[in-house]
Structure 1
């Protein structure tokens, strides 16, 4: 009867352990799935960012090509403007020279007109007598003919000279007008090129502004990408630790620093690194980077959370049945006295507070107030 009761009791205890283990593993699976879903979302965001970056790169290249094209067009326009301005300068000089020639021709024509008019005026005043005197003064018939021919030639010469000078003046005026027309056409070309240059400059300013915005947008995407990559690494590490915790089979308690297993100082007597005296090391020291999270070895109630002498910032958890765990030298505490915590729940962050020579976790297990070797309860993983 007694053995039967003991057997039933053992069966009940095993059932409770199995149920607890199932609960722990179910929670672990749920946490892993949650983190994997979070990681998937991060990766999807990273893919979207990569697409956006590719699109921005394409836009940046298109804008750059347009800017280069406009700059080439501006250079070509400036070259054309230089040529046109040179031609305008030549035309201006040509027009000025032509105007001087025209002035000179006009003066000569007026002088010739004056000479002819004076001669005609004298002849008019002398009347036909003067003309007849020239003819009657002839000594012979042949001399008469000669004198008549001479008078006719003088008249024809004056007439032809005036006509020629008028013709030359008209040619000079025509040349001046032609040069002026060419200058106007060139000026129109200058105005056209200047207008195009202004339009291109306006387009260039807009493109440069767009280019600056694209660079800012690209930098913002890169910053988002960096942050997401950091998040992805953190979530990946958490998943790794959760999987390690799920597969953990050693010890009655969980390892408080998953992924960090190097014990720098074991349980037992040693020479204290600060006092240099032989003293019982009441726990184990685990090497862990500064700021890394530390997890509860077993479910329980927080009975202490604060500064604890040489332990620095410390946490103590009462697991019931006379068992208490202590976590020392923390940089930050994540729990408060009276708070209920579950096995594997983050309770603090690693530090080097108190009597410490560097970042590490001092982990203790106390059984009914006595220090026991933690490795009887936990297995590194």
Structure 2
């Protein structure tokens, strides 16, 4: 009984030694599949992010065109406002000259009024009937007409200058107000479009950063899968195909890829018990 138990124990020990490499390869195969599955999920996420980047980039392209149009519109309105400001400055200089002329004519009219007040109103009849002869009469008549025309022209000129100044001031003020309103609207439209473009640029940059991280994770997973694949191939090529002893039939001719018993994971370093034997063969055997 002892001999039979001893032989059984020896058989189990020999069998476990034969099966230990099989369990390791099976674990590696499982891990390889897991890495590839995770990598496929990462690849899908990367493709989805790229699709979002393409969509937002197209939106940004349209916004860029709208922003360019808004910038040109604002620049045109700004140029018009600058031109109006230039005309205002020029007209203000002209108005300053007119104001001086107006003040000079006012002074002349004031002196005329003061002279009339101090010396009394000129009697046109006294001037005419004081003539010594007919020629003197005609001369006096001509002088009176000139004085009358001069006084009338002086008063009328002062009034016309005053009216011209007031009209020009009102026109310039209205032009300035209209141009300022148009420039402000164009400025706000430009600022709004530029802000939209900046938001799209920030979104694209964030999506690209996320995609770069996902792509890096994908590459790491695929690299781990390739490393495990190399380990599996190296182990399969270096193992001799075991043969049966006659007491038990070997199920397939192939190398042992994962043994029976405890094993240490080559990457994680953890121990795990494998309760079977894996034999390498073609897919579907």
Give me the TM-score of the superposition, normalised by structure 1. Answer: 0.50
Shift in alpha-carbon separation, 1:300–1:168, aligned structure 2, 3 A = closer
Aligned counterpart, 2:205: 212
Aligned counterpart, 2:10: none
Q: How far apart are residue 52 of structure 1 and its match?
A: 1.0
In terms of fraction of residues, the more strand-rich structure is 1
Q: SS where residue 131 of structure 2 aligns?
A: coil
Q: Deviations over 1:232-277 (max 9, x none)?
A: 43565587689x59x9744469867x5xxxxxxxxxxxxxxxxxxx
- 1:39–1:232 CA contact under 8 A, matched in 2: yes
**Correspondence 1:65-80 to 2 at 5 A:** 65-66=61-62, 68-69=64-65, 72-73=68-69, 75-76=71-72, 79-80=75-76
CA distance in 2, matches of 1:156, 1:36: 115
Task: Confirm whether residue 157 of structure 1 aligns to residue 153 of structure 2.
Answer: no
Q: Deviations over 1:118-146 (max 9, x none)?
A: 343356x2674xx4542232112343243
CA distance in 2, matches of 1:117, 1:149: 22
Structure scoring higher RCO (CA < 8 A, sep ≥ 6) equals 2
**Correspondence 1:227-376 to 2 at 5 A:** 227-233=220-226, 249-251=241-243, 296=259, 299=260, 335=271, 342-343=276-277
CA distance in 2, matches of 1:331, 1:47: 23
* Structure 1 stretch displaced more, 163-172 or 61-70: 61-70
CA distance in 2, matches of 1:68, 1:140: 93
Aligned counterpart, 1:169: 162
Task: Confirm whether residue 103 of structure 1 aligns to residue 99 of structure 2.
Answer: yes
- 2:36–2:222 CA contact under 8 A, matched in 1: no
- 1:49–1:221 CA contact under 8 A, matched in 2: yes
Aligned counterpart, 1:378: none
CA-based RMSD of the aligned residues comes to 4.6
Task: Confirm whether residue 135 of structure 1 aligns to residue 131 of structure 2.
Answer: no
**Structure 2: segments with no counterpart, 5+ residues:** 1-14, 245-249, 280-285
Shift in alpha-carbon separation, 1:249–1:222, aligned structure 2, 3 A = same
Q: Deviations over 1:73-106 (max 9, x none)?
A: 4653563365245314413312421330232132
- 1:53–1:218 CA contact under 8 A, matched in 2: yes
Q: Deviations over 1:148-188 (max 9, x none)?
A: 34213311221123213322332233223222222222222
- 1:301–1:340 CA contact under 8 A, matched in 2: yes
In terms of fraction of residues, the more helix-rich structure is 2
- 2:106–2:158 CA contact under 8 A, matched in 1: no
* Structure 1 stretch displaced more, 37-46 or 106-115: 37-46
Task: Confirm whether residue 197 of structure 1 aligns to residue 190 of structure 2.
Answer: yes
Aligned counterpart, 1:222: 215
**Structure 1: segments with no counterpart, 5+ residues:** 1-19, 259-294, 306-329, 346-381
Greater Rg, structure 1 or structure 2?
1
- 1:95–1:180 CA contact under 8 A, matched in 2: no
Q: For this pair of structures, how many residues does the alignment match?
A: 248
Give me the TM-score of the superposition, normalised by structure 2. Answer: 0.64
Task: Confirm whether residue 178 of structure 1 aligns to residue 171 of structure 2.
Answer: yes
Aligned counterpart, 1:114: 110
**Correspondence 1:14-93 to 2 at 5 A:** 38=34, 41-42=37-38, 44-45=40-41, 48-62=44-58, 64-66=60-62, 68-69=64-65, 72-73=68-69, 75-76=71-72, 79-80=75-76, 83-93=79-89
Shift in alpha-carbon separation, 1:118–1:101, aligned structure 2, 3 A = same
